[in-house]
Structure 1
Amino acid sequence: MREITEYYGGRDLGCTYAKTESIFKVWAPEAVKVTLALYENAGRYEANGEVTDHAGGLEIGMKKWRDGVWFLRFYGDLAGRYYMYKVEHPDGTVRYAADPYAKAVSANGARSAIVDMEAWNPEGWEADRRPPIGGLEDAVLYELHVRDFSADPNAAFKYKGKFKAFTETGLRDEEGNAIGIDHLEELGVTHVHLLPVFDFKTVNELKVDDPDAPEPKYNWGYDPQHFNVPEGSYATDPNVPGLRIREFKEMVMALHGKGIRVVMDVVYNHTYSVEDGPFEAVVPGYFYRRDARGRLANGSGVGNELATERPMVRKFILDSVRYWAEEYHIDGFRLDLMGLIDTDTVKRMAEELRREVDPAIVVYGEPWTGGETPLARQTLKGSQRNLGFAVFNDHFRGAIKGDSDGGGKGFATGGTGTEAAILEGVKGSIHDFAESPLESINYVTVHDNLNLWDKVLTTQGLRDEAGFREIRNGELVHGGSLREAVEKSEPYRSVDSERIMKSETVKRALLANGIVLTSQGIPLIQAGDELLRTKYGDHNSYRSGDAVNAIRWANKRRFKPVFDYYRGLIELRRSHPAFCLTSREEIDNHLATLRCGDNIVAFMLKDFAGGDAWKNIIVVYNANGHEIKLDIPFSNTGWKVAVNEERAGNKALDWIADEQVTVPALSMMVLFEDVGGISRANRFLLTR
């Protein structure tokens, strides 16, 4: 294939609908003929949920227009119809292709659909506003899978596994604890980061709600099919193309109404398939990266990579994020395998979204690949410096917990010698790979690998005691029923229900995320950490279904002190700009190390850091199995305790007059010096 130089800069590719006419534009510079095929219905589905016969539609020739674009204007109201492009190539092959820029599709993405987008807006959509946020430094991210959120069979969701579950307010457990979206509001997170919610391939939307249908009914969604369309398995009826649009917007509007912004996990590094993907039938060979021998590059590990450095591929990605941000009011994007996306594309994405949509849109991603790639300008750690986007901080992650799937230990899980790495992470990695702490996403676990509870159990050698079986690709390796294995397991066997906060496993888990929530940078926690969520030892649960992945809302009642601790830490962080510094200079000037060694990290945020109301704040992490005594600076007013081993928040729990503090084993402590506090002399008089 010759090099394609035609470039179209307009933002109107796809179908532009109006009641009086619809305009179709498709970029197919190598095609010798392109025909629009119109259909009255979605076609005939085969047993596997696919539509393979696209003949028989009303076929209308399109005009070769300019810059590689084919054009057709159709007069009349086409809402409710379906369409494909019939593309004839120079070698004589003819392919029917869905529109790469489709805004709506039939079930399982079989055909592109024509919809009146405004007609499917939920009531009040025009009044929807992004929740205010001071800046990226104020973000607290919460990674969540749509189906996991509401799939619990014992929770009172009406719309289990659906976008609409986020609209269900007032849900409570039997003791009156909030669950669902009210729980998210109570927890205090600022952003919900949703695993892929665009149309993906591996779940049969026609069978997902059929209890007798075979698997798979579950996937994380990292197998893109239609990048600009909401996923149909999360809609109440995937057969109605506009319904998933409305219900997705209802979800966004509901979260915005609770003061929570929405981040989309997007997968612009590969597609589920090349031959059956959204691009190859239209422009063969252009959208995919190849190695020096002409083979498809496979840095994604799934057989292909998108050639993001090519002008029209980059344009597609930039058009796509802009569309989601404007049409669906999305507030941020997490880029899967960002190492496979060239740095210029990511830079432009962040710049354009903040300049043209919202200055507080957050862009971040995984600064690595899934394998070798011929891409020269990979977006790896360090490449983000001063470019306006952030990267996952796996250096900090490893220092806190150790390895991701095995028994390797870090600071919070029983390892030694990681104190310096912890302190570097606390500083936002500004002396490692970041120019600013806002370039570091701090986290311990996400959907990949063992989740936090299971990782801590593994490092403690408690997997067998918990009854965990080996799970791979959604099945037990040695056979048997996965659901029965889950029901028989005892992941909380080591926790005394009367002394929850005394459990070593609980202490280590709280210390791990406590470090994340009190460090400089942007914190992210995985959904359910605050409920001691388990995935029953499954380190790769992408297709393990609800039995493994569903959030068990009964855990809120069972482990309420843990939830309260998380809520208190988040409240503390959001109330104090000292934890949200934005520059290297601020951190160097206001963060002083008190101790770093012997499984202890202690530091002080001093001199009203970030304009904080508290003059000085001391944070101590004790990863020892015994209490420690730490010398602290003299204070005329004494030190108040905001966080101890059992409680966390923004108010004083205790008062320390000495110049030494005792920190219990496997715990953290936050102390503060309030200039409006009581002097030592007056405190003495008051306590006599």
Structure 2
Amino acid sequence: MGPSGTRFCVWSPEATQLWLCLFDSDDREVRLPMLRDADGCWHVEAAGVGAGARYGLRADGPYDPDAGLWFDPDKLLLDPYAPAIDRAFHYDPALGAPRGRGCDTARLMPKGVVAAAIEPLPPEPPRFAPGGLIYEVQVRGFTMLHPDVPPAQRGTIAALAHPAVIAHLQSLHVSAIELMPINAWIDERHLGPLGLTNAWGYNPVSYFALDPRLAPGGMAELRAMVAALHQAGIGVILDMVYNHDGESDAQGPTLSLRGLDARGYFRHGADGRLINDTGTGNSIACNAPVTRRLILDSLRYFVAQAGVDGFRFDLGPALGRMADGFDPHAPLLQEMRADPLLADRILIAEPWDIGPGGYQLGNFGEGWLEWNDRYRDDMRRFWRGDAGTLGALATRLAGSSDIFGNGMTRSVNFLAAHDGFTLADLTAYEQRHNDANGEQNRDGHGENFSWNNGVEGTSDDPAIEAARVGDIKALFATLFASRGAIMLTAGDEFGRTQQGNNNAYAQDNAIGWIDWDGRDRDLEAHSFALARLRADTPDLSGVTLLSDADVEWLDEDGRALTVGQWEDPSRRRLTMRYRASGVAICVNGDAQPCRFHVADGAIEVGGRSVALMRPER
């Protein structure tokens, strides 16, 4: 954008014509033909067009969906680089109508908004301690019911900067919050007839524009929130979805990438049809040159414009998938680590998808953190009472050396995340209860390694409720005592429930909103105490992998565990003692209390609980 107007440039090498479409305040449209250069980019200089102007694109060319060609001038398209949109996306079947049906979509499409350039932020090191606590936040549901946040701010990014929210994060010693997707997204087409909407945002249309429902103030709102959290010593990580977009399968809507260069942006099979390695209908070709540039440009944009500290990547193997499968040295992954603006950012992989060779835990290499589902499942199985899980418990406490090598753990240890049971529901439901999702309870994970303490769901029995809270406290204690980064999903620290729904992606309502007034204050205080303990005990927040040179493994009598004890499937008690400091974590997985002896001291540990011993100073 310059003093006399704005220059627009769009990649569409197979199009025969592109138009820039400008819209006035009455939605009247003016089309400006664009000119193609030798590299397949289309350009136009729009005189008198400046900040605040609303626009879209139209593209003409061959139409053969079976061959990956979707050109249709009746479809208004969002510029992939549009920095803002004027309203949120809403699904309408006309957005996916075949060419020739006379369905002009201008009235249905949000318009891109030209934004005035703002000065990039000076580069600063990320705010994140290597073994710190990551706090996963679904922006809208986090504050919709928060009593201290002004009603006008509830459900928005701005609410995260409220003093009451920051105070809560500080009480948990949060190192960085991880925001579930905040880029503009669209509902999946099956949700409307069910009366549901996508609440999580894992169906993006834009990799630049923020969703107006979460950030009505746009980039300025995000920038101010990040600055406020930085002032409090807390980093901000964005959850980015580069594995697919909201245009879905062959019956999906044509909104942006599909209408401009589907064969360049999406992966296709030998038959010309879309590959679906994501379960969403399409798969982004992350290592195609034009897509790599789009992804890298969007990452740089959020660092330079908002100062974010890092990124978590949904279905991360897509970033490294080449024609022959996942490659940790794929061009995109190499370029991310070599980029001057991105090289020091926190990068977190969800290391699995449903594509060929899609499970890549431990394979992302140096500089990456990885969600560790082996940690999640092994810890759940131990506390559920599964036989033969003592060795797995010890391995996970010590940093998962069976997965991560080179002396350092790259594990993000977690017990629950957005796409599964809440921690409270983990101890109250053996089976998922997703009926509200309208998919006959077939969606979501079927195997959760969960338990219900005798009654499925809500119980009026105080003993059952006490047992459930005790189990949550024990789970928390092992999490906060584990080597590597740890992650909590917002609200788990005080017992939030989704009523047994382990896939609440479409529940933008009380199921998915955090009930701040109804939180368990005792459990919250316990979480705060564990967070203080971890912060005050360097051994607990280290990231070097622990070996027998660092810790000794003892039974409850203070003697080294024998091979027979390790192999005993019924053994449920363990002490991990740091040799240098004398700090000891005593784990009692049995129902009965037990007195643990460590060095010259002893401590009573209740049934199904954990205690920490520190030598006298």
TM class by shorter chain equals: 0.7 to 0.9
The AA in structure 1 aligned to 2:298 is S
The correspondence for 1:261, drawn from 226, 232, 235, is 235
The AA in structure 2 aligned to 1:317 is I
TM-score normalized with structure 2 length: 0.81
**Cα deviation 1:108-144 (Å, max 9, x = unaligned):** 252443333457x9xxx969977744x423x210111
The correspondence for 1:33, drawn from 8, 17, 33, is 17
Residue 598 of structure 2 is matched in structure 1 by 632
Matched residue SS, 2:163: coil
The correspondence for 1:199, drawn from 156, 181, 184, is 184
Identical-pair percentage: 24
The correspondence for 2:504, drawn from 537, 541, 562, is 541
The correspondence for 1:568, drawn from 529, 545, 550, is 529
Give, in angstroms, the shift of residue 389 of structure 1.
Answer: 0.8
Matched residue SS, 2:259: coil
Q: Which moved more, 1:255-264 or 1:191-200?
A: 255-264
Matched residue SS, 2:83: coil
**Cα deviation 1:511-552 (Å, max 9, x = unaligned):** 112212111111001111111111111111111222111111
The correspondence for 1:73, drawn from 17, 27, 45, is 45
Provide closer, same or farther for how the CA distance between residues 438 and 157 of structure 1 changes in structure 2, counting only shifts above 3 A. farther
What is the total number of aligned residue pairs between the two structures?
549
The correspondence for 2:588, drawn from 592, 597, 622, is 622
Provide closer, same or farther for how the CA distance between residues 185 and 157 of structure 1 changes in structure 2, counting only shifts above 3 A. farther
Provide closer, same or farther for how the CA distance between residues 154 and 111 of structure 1 changes in structure 2, counting only shifts above 3 A. closer
The correspondence for 2:554, drawn from 577, 594, 599, is 594
Gaps of 5+ in 1: 1-16, 44-55, 171-179, 237-242, 402-409, 478-488, 608-614, 635-657, 678-688
Matched residue SS, 1:429: coil
- Residue 493, structure 1, aligned to residue 479, structure 2: no
Residue 114 of structure 1 is matched in structure 2 by 113
Residue 130 of structure 2 is matched in structure 1 by 136
Between the aligned partners of 2:331 and 2:201, the Cα distance in structure 1 is: 23
The AA in structure 1 aligned to 2:141 is D
Query: In the alignment, is the contact (CA less than 8 A) between 1:82 and 1:111 conserved in 2?
Result: no
Matched residue SS, 2:257: coil
Give, in angstroms, the shift of residue 491 of structure 1.
Answer: 3.5
Residue 684 of structure 1 is matched in structure 2 by none
Provide closer, same or farther for how the CA distance between residues 337 and 325 of structure 1 changes in structure 2, counting only shifts above 3 A. same
Query: In the alignment, is the contact (CA less than 8 A) between 1:628 and 1:665 conserved in 2?
Result: yes
Residue 254 of structure 2 is matched in structure 1 by 276
Provide closer, same or farther for how the CA distance between residues 64 and 588 of structure 1 changes in structure 2, counting only shifts above 3 A. farther
Residue 104 of structure 1 is matched in structure 2 by 84
Query: In the alignment, is the contact (CA less than 8 A) between 1:616 and 1:672 conserved in 2?
Result: yes
Give, in angstroms, the shift of residue 399 of structure 1.
Answer: 0.8
Q: Which has the higher contact order (CA 8 A, sep 6+)?
A: 2
Matched residue SS, 1:143: strand
Residue 222 of structure 2 is matched in structure 1 by 248
- Residue 431, structure 1, aligned to residue 402, structure 2: yes
- Residue 226, structure 1, aligned to residue 206, structure 2: yes
Give, in angstroms, the shift of residue 475 of structure 1.
Answer: 8.7
Give, in angstroms, the shift of residue 438 of structure 1.
Answer: 4.0
Query: In the alignment, is the contact (CA less than 8 A) between 1:622 and 1:666 conserved in 2?
Result: yes
Matches within 5 A, 1:648-687: 658=601, 660-674=602-616, 677=617
Matched residue SS, 1:80: coil
The AA in structure 2 aligned to 1:363 is L
Query: In the alignment, is the contact (CA less than 8 A) between 1:136 and 1:438 conserved in 2?
Result: no
Between the aligned partners of 1:292 and 1:591, the Cα distance in structure 2 is: 54
The AA in structure 1 aligned to 2:334 is R
Give, in angstroms, the shift of residue 77 of structure 1.
Answer: 4.5
Q: Which moved more, 1:589-598 or 1:259-268?
A: 589-598
Between the aligned partners of 2:522 and 2:515, the Cα distance in structure 1 is: 16
The correspondence for 2:277, drawn from 286, 299, 308, is 299
Query: In the alignment, is the contact (CA less than 8 A) between 1:438 and 1:582 conserved in 2?
Result: yes
Between the aligned partners of 2:612 and 2:504, the Cα distance in structure 1 is: 36
Give, in angstroms, the shift of residue 223 of structure 1.
Answer: 0.7
Residue 66 of structure 2 is matched in structure 1 by none
Residue 348 of structure 2 is matched in structure 1 by 364
Between the aligned partners of 1:189 and 1:202, the Cα distance in structure 2 is: 31
Over the residues paired in the alignment, what is the CA RMSD in angstroms? 3.2
**Cα deviation 1:79-120 (Å, max 9, x = unaligned):** 22112222232568535422111111121252443333457x
Between the aligned partners of 2:494 and 2:364, the Cα distance in structure 1 is: 34
- Residue 186, structure 1, aligned to residue 128, structure 2: no
TM-score normalized with structure 1 length: 0.73
Query: In the alignment, is the contact (CA less than 8 A) between 1:157 and 1:168 conserved in 2?
Result: no
The AA in structure 1 aligned to 2:553 is T
Matches within 5 A, 1:514-553: 514-553=477-516
Between the aligned partners of 1:530 and 1:332, the Cα distance in structure 2 is: 23
Between the aligned partners of 1:381 and 1:396, the Cα distance in structure 2 is: 11
Provide closer, same or farther for how the CA distance between residues 451 and 435 of structure 1 changes in structure 2, counting only shifts above 3 A. farther
**Cα deviation 1:199-222 (Å, max 9, x = unaligned):** 011299xxx9xxxx9943551111
Between the aligned partners of 2:582 and 2:590, the Cα distance in structure 1 is: 25
The correspondence for 2:437, drawn from 473, 484, 497, is 473
Matched residue SS, 1:108: coil
